[in-house]
């Protein structure tokens, strides 16, 4: 079977630079591509109970054929697996299989698996390499790129983690064809976010996204994220914080609703609406742009109204542990128009409270 030449995006981080390849059929060529990076030896494929049955044997076969000895570690699907208990379990299984500091990790799955597996790689033997094989839109356009790894704590999302860049990202778009509609749609929250902060043309193009032909759109998203990550890897200048448009309130809603009620992209959709409302008040976002954002979220069946049973107080409590609160000050991402965004300290807690109430 012949496959098109992959679209390719480089993340420029000096000696930690790496390549993202986007095409159909990359799972089957994973072994050959990894031989360019790692000598033959042991590796762990970390996946979940949804993705594992679909693809783990294929990936393990491709790696075995290239001379590797893979161990498959499967965690339960869902956000609840982003926890220290699963990190410990994965490490124990890797130790039992004899993986040492020359081993590497393959993250095969969506955002939860990528964050978890990346964190396992960051801490196992004080850090071993890993590669990302993202299988959802949200992980292909967003979470597999940029080296943010981690798990959730009782007090909030992603509070335990590490910056650990992958050595390679292989985004096989054929895996998107097995996504249920809800998981397919949630990924577009991150696509819409990238478009709002950086690319007005991409925003227009999402209006006619074609499920059978997503490679180029994914490559455009990845290029946006790659440029921002290269400019501000550890989120010190404020540039990388732009990627958090919609995430401050979105993460608060995700935590307050109880992990599992909303998919990540669904919570981010609500956060995008709140950020858009605040952008109209604080940054001059035109009403017309706000309406277009709402319409686009609607198009992907993403939520734009907050249910009454999720209390504003519990969302605000979750917000206060958020990493985007620097020294107690709120750094909030606003948009002055689709295609541009900036970091503002003009948004107060009462402003956020009002925006959350306006979601109801």
The packing angle between helices 247-257 and 312-319, to 10°, is: 120
Are the C-beta atoms of residues 304 and 290 closer than 8 Å to each other?
Answer: no
> How buried is residue 77: exposed, middle or buried, by Cβ count under 10 Å (0-12/13-18/19+)?
middle
* 58 has catalytic annotation: no
* 82 has catalytic annotation: no
Catalytic one of 126, 208, 305, 329: 126
- The one-character DSSP state at 139 is I
Instruction: List the domains of the chain with CATH numbers.
Output: 7-178 (3.40.50.1970), 185-358 (1.20.1090.10)
Catalytic one of 164, 220, 247, 296: 247
> How buried is residue 229: exposed, middle or buried, by Cβ count under 10 Å (0-12/13-18/19+)?
buried
* 101 has catalytic annotation: no
State residue 1's pLDDT score: 46
What does R_g of the chain's alpha carbons equal in angstroms?
20
Could you tell me which of 314, 354, 300, 311 has the C-alpha nearest to residue 155?
314
Q: Are strands 329-330 and 325-326 parallel, antiparallel or unpaired?
A: antiparallel
Bridge partners, residue 108, by sequence: 133
Q: What's the predicted TM-score (pTM) here?
A: 0.94
* 234 has catalytic annotation: no
State residue 305's pLDDT score: 98
* 208 has catalytic annotation: no
* 244 has catalytic annotation: yes
Catalytic one of 183, 186, 190, 266: 190
Catalytic one of 7, 79, 244, 296: 244
Torsion angle defined by CA atoms of residues 344, 157, 127 and 33, in that order, rounded to the nearest 10 degrees: -80
* 190 has catalytic annotation: yes
pLDDT in tens, the chain (360 residues): 446 799 999 999 999 999 999 999 999 999 999 999 999 999 999 999 999 999 999 999 999 999 999 999 999 999 999 999 999 999 999 999 999 999 999 999 999 999 999 999 999 999 999 999 999 999 999 999 999 999 999 888 889 999 999 999 999 999 999 899 999 999 999 999 999 999 999 999 999 998 888 999 999 999 999 999 999 999 899 899 999 999 999 999 999 998 789 999 999 999 999 999 999 999 999 999 999 999 999 999 999 999 999 999 999 998 887 766 656 678 899 999 999 999 999 999 999 999 999 999
User: Within a 13 Å sphere around the CA of 169, how many CA atoms are in the beta-carbon half?
Assistant: 35
The packing angle between helices 247-257 and 264-283, to 10°, is: 140
* 3 has catalytic annotation: no
Catalytic one of 157, 167, 198, 240: 240
* 264 has catalytic annotation: yes
* 225 has catalytic annotation: yes
């Amino acid at each position: 079977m012949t496959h098109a030449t992959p679209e390719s995006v480089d993340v420029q981080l000096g000696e930690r630079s790496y390549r993202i390849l986007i095409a159909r059929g990359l799972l089957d060529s994973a072994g050959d591509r990894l031989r360019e990076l790692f000598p033959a030896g042991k590796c762990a494929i970390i996946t979940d109970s949804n993705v594992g049955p679909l693809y783990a044997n294929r990936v393990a076969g491709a790696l075995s054929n290239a001379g590797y000895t893979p161990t498959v570690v499967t965690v339960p699907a869902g956000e609840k697996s982003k926890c220290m208990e699963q990190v410990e379990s994965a490490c124990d299984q890797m130790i039992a299989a004899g993986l040492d500091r020359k081993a590497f990790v393959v993250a095969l799955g969506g955002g939860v698996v990528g964050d978890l597996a990346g964190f396992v790689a960051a801490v196992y033997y004080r850090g071993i390499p890993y590669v990302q094989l993202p299988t959802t839109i949200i992980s292909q356009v967003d979470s597999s790129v940029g080296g943010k790894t981690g798990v959730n704590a009782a007090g909030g999302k992603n509070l335990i983690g590490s910056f650990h860049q992958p050595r390679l990202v292989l985004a096989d778009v054929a895996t998107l064809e097995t996504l249920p509609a809800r998981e397919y749609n949630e990924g577009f929250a991150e696509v819409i976010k990238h478009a709002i902060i950086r690319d007005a043309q991409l925003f227009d193009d999402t209006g006619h996204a074609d499920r059978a032909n997503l490679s180029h759109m994914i490559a455009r998203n990845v290029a946006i994220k790659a440029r921002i990550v290269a400019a501000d890897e550890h989120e010190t200048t404020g540039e990388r914080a732009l990627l958090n448009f919609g995430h401050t309130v979105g993460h608060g809603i995700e935590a307050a609703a109880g992990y599992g009620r909303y998919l990540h992209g669904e919570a981010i959709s609500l956060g995008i609406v709140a950020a858009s409302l605040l952008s109209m008040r604080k940054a001059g976002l035109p009403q017309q742009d706000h309406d277009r954002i709402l319409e686009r979220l609607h198009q992907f069946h993403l939520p734009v109204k907050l249910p009454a049973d999720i209390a504003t107080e519990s969302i605000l409590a979750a917000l206060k542990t958020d990493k985007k609160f620097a020294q107690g000050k709120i750094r909030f991402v606003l948009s002055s128009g689709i295609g541009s965004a900036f970091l503002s300290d003009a948004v107060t807690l009462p402003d956020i409270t009002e925006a959350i109430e306006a979601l109801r």
